[in-house]
Amino acid sequence: MSADPETLMQFLFALRSRGVTDTRVLGAMEKIDRALFLKGLFAGRAYEDVPLPIACGQTISQPSVVGIMTQALDVQPRDKVLEVGTGSGYQAAVLSQLARRVYTVDRYRRLVAEARAVFEELDLTNITAFTADGSFGLPDQAPFDRILVTAAAEDPPGPLLAQLRIGGIMVLPVGQSDTIQSLIRVRRTESGFDYEELRPVRFVPLVEGLGQD
């Protein structure tokens, strides 16, 4: 399925009205069809600005939240990006339009397999997806210019901070899983880390270890 021009225009209008103004981010989201990352009846709701269920009891994020997080990450064309929490693969696909290389990890093998199939279908050859506990990052591929975490931890995981390049940016939700969390932006400087609180968000929790599926 792909959106008709009218639906696509409304989708982009909703993104803009919720604060996604970066033209490169809007361009990437115009190009990547969210319906391909959803199954069955939910695919018909792909252009609504709502989170929707995916396999393994997880959710695909709300498009405006994907847009705002991507915008906050300020991805540059030469960047190597790590995403923790592949889920449907939609966010990684959006990042793939803006970065040189995207690594994405999820704790569910099934989600990674399904996302890989869509990346192949779309010929998104600059994404590599792994099944792993993403709170440890990907030491073999580090350092990263940008890190995006799409599941909420109580604090930024130490290994992810360590794998961020100096001058790099990490965007992540922090806080207790069942309450409102804060989206924060961390910049690594020569001497340490600068933290900035962006807005309230609600994500599924970052969970230790691999999933059953």
- Footprint (CB under 6 A) of ligand SAH, residues 40-59: 58-59
Question: Are 57 and 77 in contact, with CB atoms under 8 Å apart?
Answer: no
Q: Which is nearer to ligand SAH, 98 or 206 (CB)?
A: 206
Q: Which segment (8-16, 164-172, 185-193, 203-211) binds ligand SAH by CB under 6 A?
A: 203-211
**Rounded Cα–Cα distance for residues 108 and 73 (Å):** 25
Residues identified as active-site: 61
In the 8-state DSSP scheme, what is residue 209? S
Q: Which segment (8-16, 168-176, 181-189, 200-208) binds ligand SAH by CB under 6 A?
A: 200-208
**Rounded Cα–Cα distance for residues 94 and 86 (Å):** 12
CA distance to 21, 132, 206, per residue, from 109 (Å): 34, 8, 16
Q: Which of 22, 33, 114, 133 contacts ligand SAH by CB under 6 A?
A: 133
Q: Which of 87, 137, 156, 173 contacts ligand SAH by CB under 6 A?
A: 87
Tokens 């809007």 belong to which residue? 26
**Rounded Cα–Cα distance for residues 167 and 94 (Å):** 22
Q: Is 96 in the site for ligand SAH (CB under 6 A)?
A: no
Q: Is 88 in the site for ligand SAH (CB under 6 A)?
A: yes
CA distance to 59, 82, 122, per residue, from 96 (Å): 20, 11, 11
- Report the run of H or E that residue 11 belongs to, with start and end: helix 5-17
Q: Is 60 in the site for ligand SAH (CB under 6 A)?
A: yes
Q: Is 134 in the site for ligand SAH (CB under 6 A)?
A: yes
Binding site for ligand SAH (CB under 6 A): 58-61, 84-85, 87-88, 90-91, 105-108, 111, 133-135, 150-151, 204, 206-207
